[in-house]
Amino acid sequence: MVSTRILIIEDDQEINQLVARYLKKEDYEVQSAYNGKEALALIAKEEYQLIILDLMLPIVDGQEVLRKIRETRTTPVIVLSAKDREMDKISLLELGADDYITKPFTIGELVARVKAQLRRYIGFQPDHAAAAPKILKHGDLELDTGSCELTVRGQKKPITAKEYAILKLFLSSPTRVFAKSHIFQAVWQEESMADDNTVMVHINRIRTKIEKDPSSPQYIQTVWGFGYKLGEG
């Protein structure tokens, strides 16, 4: 059985070790990094199923680390930050974060969010998708459910785990209209949305990758007052 590996990037040694201790109790394999440069070196040579990322890091800050991760990886990233303004959360979601926890936080909440992210991410890996179609196609979009790769008009586009999950949801049911609450429950596996902007931010980010003109989307269209549906493209 392959172990689940988590990287904790947090410069506060006490917080880093506390989180690591509790995650190890859940039988996860845990590594720690204490600055952005060290973290990027580990990510370049190791595979992780989840990353916990503090924003205020020495040498290379957390936002830059997140940008670098999203250049090559779909690994779920949970951001830790003392900033709690709505715009701060939205900007990080747009940058590629999968979840956001405001400091101070409880260990119980963090562990629960880690488990939720891993359920979604590991569930979409090839070993768990043997019965699913290998390639989901719609217009000029192709979503490979084996490699979790997106191709748009012949070009591969990097996507996060959440973006992949949302696209797979739409492409698997191309005629369905999805309420935002349904998308949230299916992708985040939580009953209620803490922030109504969460789904919208991820949809907007997908549009920038798949639409010729994101301001006039053809693939993922808004159904006003309800949610979203897949257009003809």
pLDDT digits (tens, 9 = 90+) for 171-222: 988 889 999 888 988 888 776 665 668 899 999 999 999 999 999 999 999 9
Residue 106 shares a structural domain with residue 182 = no
Nearest-angstrom CA–CA distance, 194 and 191: 10
Residue 28 shares a structural domain with residue 106 = yes
* Total-model pTM: 0.64
pLDDT tens, position by position, 4-29:
999 999 999 999 999 999 999 999 99
Residue 52 shares a structural domain with residue 151 = no
**132: pLDDT strictly greater than 60:** no
pLDDT of 232 = 78
Residue 136 shares a structural domain with residue 199 = yes
Say if residues 187 and 166 touch (Cβ distance below 8 Å): yes
Nearest-angstrom CA–CA distance, 190 and 125: 20
* Domain residue limits at 205: 131-230
Residue 119 shares a structural domain with residue 26 = yes
Nearest-angstrom CA–CA distance, 187 and 99: 12
Instruction: Using the 3D structure, point to which of 89, 123, 157 is the last residue of a domain.
Output: 123
Chain centroid to Cα 102, Å, comes to: 17
Place of tokens 């891993």: 118
CA atoms within 13 A on the CB side of 41: 9
Residue 110 shares a structural domain with residue 206 = no
Instruction: Using the 3D structure, point to which of 56, 88, 123 is the last residue of a domain.
Output: 123
Question: Per mean pLDDT, which range of 79-88, 124-133, 196-205 is the poorest?
Answer: 124-133
Q: What mean pLDDT is reported for the chain?
A: 88
CATH code of the domain covering residue 216? 1.10.10.10
For residue 230, the cross-strand partners are: 220
pLDDT of 233 = 66
Instruction: Using the 3D structure, point to which of 104, 123, 142 is the last residue of a domain.
Output: 123
Residue 10 shares a structural domain with residue 29 = yes
Domain count, the chain: 2
Residue 115 shares a structural domain with residue 213 = no
Say if residues 78 and 113 touch (Cβ distance below 8 Å): yes
CATH code of the domain covering residue 72? 3.40.50.2300
Residue 108 shares a structural domain with residue 167 = no
Nearest-angstrom CA–CA distance, 78 and 98: 6
Residue 112 shares a structural domain with residue 170 = no
Residue 16 shares a structural domain with residue 39 = yes
Residue 102 shares a structural domain with residue 146 = no
Nearest-angstrom CA–CA distance, 133 and 145: 7
Say if residues 111 and 122 touch (Cβ distance below 8 Å): no
Q: Which of 214, 233, 67 is nearest to 138 (CA)?
A: 233
Nearest-angstrom CA–CA distance, 175 and 229: 7
